[in-house]
Amino acid sequence: MLRFEFDDVRLTVLPTGSLRLDGGAMFGVVPKPLWEREHKADDRNRILLAMNVLLVEDGDRKILIDTGAGEKWDAKERDIFALETSPAEDWLKPAGLTPPDIDMVVCSHLHFDHAGGNTVRKNGSDAVAAFPNAVYVMQQGELELARSGNERTRASYMAENYEPLLSDKQVRLVNGDTALTRCIRLRLAPGHTPHMQVPLVRAGGGTFAYLADLVPTASHVRAPYIMGYDLEPLATLATKKALLAEAARNDWRLVFEHDPVLPVGRLVEEKGRLKAAAVEPE
C-alpha cells in the first residue's frame, strides 16, 4: 500500500491482485527481445501484471477508481490468466475501510481486469454490487460498446460486471470530459477503447493521473509501446503523446494500474526521451 497524504485529500494505491497476459499482446509491435528486458515471460509467454486501484479520500467522501478483476472466476479462467485475487474486504483492510464505506466507484473502462470487482456473487446468488452504497461512474459510450460487443471486443467484457448495477439504478453515466467532484476530473482518453477515461485528481497543489490502460505499465511510457488489445492504436498514440507531454510540463504523478514494480511515477527526461521514475510518499 502506497499512501500520499495532503491537507485536502488522501490518496492510497491498493494492490487488488495480479494476473498474467500474453507478453506479445501487451506490447503490440514491439519485438520480444526488447520488452523482455523489463518483463520476463513465463513458459506460456505471459507476463506478470498488477491490478492497482486508487482510493481517494476527500473529507467524508471515499472514492475508488477501478476495482480489479474481482472474485467471480472459475478454476479454468483462473488458470488461463494466472489470476490471484482476494475479496475487497481484504484489500481495503490496510486502508481501514470496508466495502460499504465506499460511496463512489469510478470505472476507467469496463474490461474485466478493471471492473470485475464491481460486483460479487454471495452464496451462489446472481452478481450484486460489491460496494452497496456506491454510485458507479462510467462513460456512456463505454457502456454501449460493452453491451454491443462484436467478435473483436467481446472477450474483454462480462455483463455481470455492470448489468446488475444498471438494474439497481446505481450508475451515473457521463459523456466525455467531466468535473466529477471537488478534486476529480474525468478526461476522455480514446485509444484502448474509444471511451476509456483517465481520472485526474487534484491533491496538494499537484495532479495525480490514473492512466488505466492508456499507459498500463511504466514501460508503456515509450510512444510505440501500445498494446495489441487496443481497439484504436493510433488514437492511443495521439492521446498518450498529448497527455504525457502535459504530465511532463506539470510534473504530474502517474499511477500505473498494471505495473507490478512501479505503481506511481513521474516523468523524467533521459537522452531526450521521457521515462518514468518511481515516486514514494514524502
Binding site for Zn ion (CB under 5 A): 111, 213
Q: How far is the CB of 212 from Zn ion (least distance, A)?
A: 7
Collapse the DSSP code of 174 into the 3-class scheme (helix H, G, I; strand E, B; otherwise coil) and give the result. Answer: strand
Q: What's the closest the beta carbon of residue 122 comes to Zn ion, in angstroms?
A: 26
Q: Which residues contact 195 (CB under 8 A, 6 or more apart)?
A: 109, 139, 140, 141, 142, 145, 188
Question: Are 101 and 61 a contacting pair, CB within 8 Å?
Answer: no
Listed in sequence order, the residues at least 6 apart from 88 whose beta carbon sits closer than 8 Å to its beta carbon are: 16, 67, 99, 117, 120, 130, 131
Q: Shortest Cβ distance from residue 280 to Zn ion (Å)? A: 27
> In sequence order, what DSSP letters do the residues of 43-105 get, joined into one string?
TTSEEEEEEEEEEEEETTEEEEE--BS-S---HHHHHHTT-EE--HHHHHGGGT--GGG--EE
Looking at the Cβ atoms of 57 and 66, the one nearer to Zn ion is 66
Least spacing, CB of residue 192 vs Zn ion, in Å: 6
Q: Closest approach of Cβ 260 to Zn ion, in Å?
A: 16
Nearer Cβ to Zn ion, position 39 or 111?
A: 111
Q: Residue 111 or 220: which CB sits closer to Zn ion?
A: 111
Three-class secondary structure of residue 163 per DSSP: helix
Which position's Cβ is nearest Zn ion?
A: 111
Closer to Zn ion at the Cβ: 4 or 27?
27
C-beta of 106: minimal distance to Zn ion in Å? 15
Nearer to Zn ion, 211 or 264 (CB): 211
Q: What is the C-alpha separation between 182 and 204, in angstroms, rounded?
A: 13
Residue 9 or 243 having the CB closest to Zn ion? 243
Sign of the Cα pseudo-torsion (273, 223, 21, 142, in order): positive
Spatial distance between the Cα atoms of 84 and 100, rounded to a whole number of angstroms: 23
